[in-house]
Amino acid sequence: MIKSYVLNLSHNDWSLRTHGIGEDKLKVVMSRRIPYNGKENVIGEIYAESDFLLKEIIKTMKRSRRVNEVNLIDIVKTKNDVRATIHVNVDLKGGIAEKLVSAGAIYYSESIYDGFEKWLILINSSNLLKVLPEIKEECYNFKLTEQDVPFLSAKHKLTKRERDIIEMSLRKGYFDYPKKVKLEEISEELGVSKVAVLQTLRRAIKKVIKSNEDILTGKL
């Protein structure tokens, strides 16, 4: 049976070097992963308190024996933090991802902070049980829990109507500051009442937030 799990662990990898640095100061999220020929291309995000921390964690990643390259794709700096998008190419051999791929994981992502790795896994439960002993053997800390994941739920997906209204609102600048268009103008173009547009928009925004709840609240 296919289920979703959250796996919290620490082991001898570059992630261990983040120990003592709280999530509010540094967090790395590896969410888009493509395995191929014993390697893996990963798109990740780094949230750092300072430019210094960002540079240090990238240096730490590059020193890892399994990391082949780290490329900075984009970076945004504010007075409060630094956010960066990165590409990482790694060898699968010897990593947690290698075992998940061999077990036929359908989806997996990873958040790293304070020396821990937090893996979100969608996998056949019987396949996961086969590789768990191998994963445990490599870990200093290990905790597995079954957990529903909002972004995998069909009830949190936008309807066509919700998607159309959100797309129009974005395109016309309703979410800009200051607003470039009023709600009345959107409702007139759609031929529906202002109340109907507002209700649909709120419902759609709630779904978008709910789908990303785990990331927004730091659960992943």
Distances (CA, A) of 22 to 47, 53, 69, 73, 143: 11, 12, 26, 24, 19
Kindly report, residue by residue over 97-131, the tens digit of the pLDDT: 999 999 999 989 999 999 999 999 999 999 999 99
At 90, the pLDDT band (50, 70, 90 cuts) reads very high
Q: What is the pTM assigned to this prediction?
A: 0.81
Average model confidence (pLDDT) for the chain? 92
* pLDDT of amino acid 125: 94
Q: What percentage of the chain exceeds 70 in pLDDT?
A: 95
**Is pLDDT of 210 > 90?**
no
Q: Percent of the chain scored above 90 by pLDDT?
A: 85
The domains found in the chain, sorted by start residue, are 2-147 (no CATH), 152-216 (1.10.10)
pLDDT 10s digits, 195-209: 999 999 999 999 888
